[in-house]
Structure 1
Amino acid sequence: MTSEEDFARALRASAAHAPEPPTELFALAAERRGRTRVRRRRAAGASALALVAAAGCALALLPDRSPARPAPAATPVGQTFMSDTLSSLMPADGRVTDLSGTSPDDLQPGHTPMAWLDYDDGNGPARLLLTIDRLPTPLGDGAAALQCPDTLARPTATCELATRPDGSRLVTTATAPRWDGDDRSWTVTFADPDGRMVSATEIASGRPGHPAREQPPLTRERLLAVATSDAWRPAFTVLPASTVPPAAPVGGPAMLTALHTALPAGATFDPGTGTQETPGRVHGTVSLGGHTSQLVVSVEHGWQRGFPVEPATRFRNFGFDGSFSQTPDGTLRFVKEVPVPGPDGTKDTQGTERIAGALLPDGTMVTAKIWTYGPDHQVTAFPPALSSEQLVALVTVPSWAHA
């Protein structure tokens, strides 16, 4: 497997359990940017690019972790800062390889800092991905980035939400393998009361007959130590805080009502037997013309308002490599098809997801993802129940602004 394919696989695995479609879309966009840069740098005779995330939080390292590598000297916040900082936070008794990072620049003002590396504790490597971002404050229960993953989109073994005494928020998750040899992932997302957020994910790769390791190289406590390290504080100088508080989240009943209004004629939606408790998100199965597929829709009012980077700029980053258009009323929209690897990682078992997004004139962000499951939660290549045009029409319905 080439380095860019491995890079893509890791990002897709990270995106698969992202708490909201915008986070997933950003990871998918980062994947494509990364692969483009790899090709460019190879042509120029330079080294290959890489990935993942950087972070910052006000808490010090937890006291029970093993000695860290020497911290990098003070440098401008860029790719080197991101990769060196992440490497410095790894236990010294392990092996670090394939480290790199990304940072915002004039060509990508809506891009958040990222870093990635492979870490091997002697029992096999795992990919460590780290992203940082800013959330509007005050933090609330409706913050989309601080929700559990959607269990329809990615089977989840565990997910815990916690509010700490200082007001910080913590989300810890572990995915459940879908088939023999499926990857496993463990994520810690930490948000400081001032809105600084870092998400760190470990991904252990498996293959048929060779399941991924059941425990990650970094324990939950060590992964939390990485996310809460003061070493990330300089990275937030390139991510100024929002000046506007978050809008109230959309409740489950309002989401269902709006979705039924937005569906094309003849389509039916079944939310299932479980309750729809996640603010601003609804999932279930949609049927039309004899086809049934899985559908997840998310809505956020006032998306990215109050941040220095205009929402439209970041929206274009999320939809990178998609088909963009704009309606006469100013609604921005995109749709894209995303390949999803199957059990053996080849095109023979590869499935396809469709993702559409819309940024309405009032600042409401709507995203929808549709796919069709086969056995063992394997995404199929069958055309989903809604076409690309119908999915775009669904997310651009003006009534979402009033949900």
Structure 2
Amino acid sequence: MPENQYTDPFEDRFAAALRDTGHSFRADDPAALAGRGEVRGRRKQLLRRTAVLGGMTGVALVGVGATLLLPADVHGPRRTSAAAGPAATASPSAASPSPAGTFTGDDMLRSLKELLPQGTFSEEQAQGTGATTPPYARLVFDDGAGAAALGLSVDRTDPGGEQAAQWTTCPDKSIVSYDDCTSATQPDGSRLMLLRGYEYPDRRVDTRWWNAELVTPDGVHVTLSEWNAPAQKDAPVSRPQPPLSVEQLKEVVTADVWRRVAAAMPRSPEPSVTGEAPLEGRPSGAIAKTLMGLLPENVKVTGRSGPGGDYAYLVVDDGKGGSLVQINVQPGMSDVAGDLFRDAEKLADGTLVTTRKSPGEKAGKDVVMWTADTLRPDGLRVVVSAFNTPAQNEDATRDAPALTLAQLREIALSTVWDAGA
């Protein structure tokens, strides 16, 4: 059976994500906080697109049920109201940058609006290339069929790096619920992903989220997102679908103007040789491979994650049906000890260990999640969970996960994680 390829993200969306905001407070429900934390890695891909329009909602939550983590390279200020802009017609050209060779916020908005169909605009907000964080434009667009939130951001990335692979690879449907997704190399060598999905994976409301991600051969990264509501969250659905078709999403995100925007962005300073090194996860492919080596002999791997950050997953089968197994290997997590390991067992070497059985975190019926969570004295957190279904957003397919709590504990405590996955 071919391996599933999953990069999410969803759900962080990236190696550059900041530490969980929840780390700084005491949780009334440690188990719930732990559940949110252990899936942080696979959400990283979703987090950046949430930040594109995060300021329009005033709600810092990701649609998959976790506290929002804003990546260091994304700017998401609070909403400010603005007067509606004039109607615009589609045009292959876009606004020229300001005389100083930069793009202002007005330039960003004008460039975006010239690429959209005829309609009206409101709730406009933008940032140009003169800031220390990436430029973006966001607005509410109405083509006569209903108001829709829409946002675009431009950044740079390593085109051959892991983040670029995450952004331009379709997520695995066993983790993320969506209608369709395509990922392809364009004639100029750019990678483009077009996804039509939902703001809430459990579809508790019918807010649709359609997304385009482009990474060019020279490292320009353009993100475009749209919703069928005037805000990505907490706003009534205003139309059956977002306003732009997949073809229109592609036309906007691939417009040459965004390359000129990226060229006008200030270059990031070279990292200091004496500065503190950033915390980095381990390659997801290596994590998945290491996890495979720790499985009991009676289980067969039928699916696995692709490139990613500090998260990986396998789908295993012990002869009784598929069972999802996920793992996070996260350095620098000492600050969660007080919230997640209050009543944990403490081993002789100082490692904290806790196990639990809880309901599944998504909408699948009768899904259970068994978890072993560990925290080494050096701050390395290894948390492993198993489910009684091969896909969390689907109903349970077996009575219990394929791995027992004892087996999950043994995997999480393995010394291979200390040596590096």
Shorter-chain TM-score category? 0.5 to 0.7
> Structure 1 or 2: larger helix share?
1
Match status 1:129 vs 2:159: no
Are the counterparts in 1 of residues 183 and 193 from structure 2 also a CA contact under 8 Å? yes
Are the counterparts in 2 of residues 294 and 372 from structure 1 also a CA contact under 8 Å? no
Deviation of the 1:173 alpha carbon: 0.9
Match status 1:200 vs 2:211: no
Aligned partners of 2:179, 2:122: CA distance in 1, in Å?
28
Deviation of the 1:10 alpha carbon: 9.0
Are the counterparts in 1 of residues 329 and 381 from structure 2 also a CA contact under 8 Å? no
- Segments of 5+ residues of structure 1 without an aligned counterpart are 39-46, 50-64, 244-248, 286-292, 300-330, 337-352, 354-370
Match status 1:119 vs 2:106: no
Aligned partners of 2:126, 2:372: CA distance in 1, in Å?
37
Deviation of the 1:230 alpha carbon: 1.5
Match status 1:276 vs 2:304: yes
Are the counterparts in 2 of residues 79 and 102 from structure 1 also a CA contact under 8 Å? yes
> 1:169 matched to which residue of 2?
191
Deviation of the 1:187 alpha carbon: 1.0
Are the counterparts in 1 of residues 94 and 111 from structure 2 also a CA contact under 8 Å? yes
Deviation of the 1:373 alpha carbon: 3.9
Aligned partners of 1:80, 1:190: CA distance in 2, in Å?
23
Aligned partners of 1:395, 1:103: CA distance in 2, in Å?
40
Structure showing greater radius of gyration is 2
Match status 1:229 vs 2:272: no
The alpha-carbon distance between structure 1 residues 395 and 375, as it changes in their structure 2 partners (threshold 3 A), is closer
Superposed CA deviations along residues 80-112 of structure 1, whole A, max 9, x for unmatched, are 332332223222x21111111235667xx4x32
Deviation of the 1:156 alpha carbon: 2.1
Aligned partners of 1:193, 1:242: CA distance in 2, in Å?
21
Deviation of the 1:198 alpha carbon: 0.7
Q: Which amino acid aligns with 2:57?
A: F
- Segments of 5+ residues of structure 2 without an aligned counterpart are 1-52, 83-87, 271-281, 316-323, 341-357, 384-414
Are the counterparts in 1 of residues 154 and 222 from structure 2 also a CA contact under 8 Å? yes
Are the counterparts in 2 of residues 82 and 100 from structure 1 also a CA contact under 8 Å? no
Are the counterparts in 2 of residues 135 and 242 from structure 1 also a CA contact under 8 Å? no
Superposed CA deviations along residues 28-51 of structure 1, whole A, max 9, x for unmatched, are 9957x513xx6xxxxxxxx559xx
Query: Does the residue aligned with 1:143 lie in a helix, a strand or coil?
Result: helix
> 2:409 matched to which residue of 1?
none
Residue pairs, 1:77-156, within 5 angstroms: 77-91=103-117, 93-103=118-128, 109=132, 111-138=133-160, 143-149=165-171, 151=173, 153-156=175-178
Superposed CA deviations along residues 174-223 of structure 1, whole A, max 9, x for unmatched, are 11562342311111111222121211111123999x76644321111111
Aligned partners of 1:155, 1:119: CA distance in 2, in Å?
25
Aligned partners of 1:141, 1:384: CA distance in 2, in Å?
29
Residue pairs, 1:7-18, within 5 angstroms: 7-9=57-59, 12-13=62-63
Are the counterparts in 1 of residues 332 and 379 from structure 2 also a CA contact under 8 Å? no
Are the counterparts in 2 of residues 184 and 212 from structure 1 also a CA contact under 8 Å? no
Q: Aligned match of 1:72 in 95, 112, 120?
A: 95
Aligned partners of 1:207, 1:4: CA distance in 2, in Å?
9
The alpha-carbon distance between structure 1 residues 297 and 83, as it changes in their structure 2 partners (threshold 3 A), is farther
> 1:361 matched to which residue of 2?
none
Q: Which amino acid aligns with 2:183?
A: L
Q: Note the aligned Cα RMSD (angstroms).
A: 5.3
Superposed CA deviations along residues 345-403 of structure 1, whole A, max 9, x for unmatched, are xxxxxxxx9xxxxxxxxxxxxxxxxx96456269xxxx995779689632699958843
Q: Which amino acid aligns with 1:238?
A: M
Deviation of the 1:157 alpha carbon: 1.9
The alpha-carbon distance between structure 1 residues 150 and 72, as it changes in their structure 2 partners (threshold 3 A), is same
Sequence identity (%) = 24
Q: Aligned match of 1:255 in 275, 287, 291?
A: 287
* TM-score, normalisation: structure 2: 0.50
Are the counterparts in 2 of residues 137 and 242 from structure 1 also a CA contact under 8 Å? no
Deviation of the 1:260 alpha carbon: 8.3
* TM-score, normalisation: structure 1: 0.52
Deviation of the 1:162 alpha carbon: 0.8
Alignment size in residue pairs: 281
Query: Does the residue aligned with 2:194 lie in a helix, a strand or coil?
Result: strand
Superposed CA deviations along residues 303-342 of structure 1, whole A, max 9, x for unmatched, are xxxxxxxxxxxxxxxxxxxxxxxxxxxx766878xxxxxx
Aligned partners of 1:204, 1:119: CA distance in 2, in Å?
10
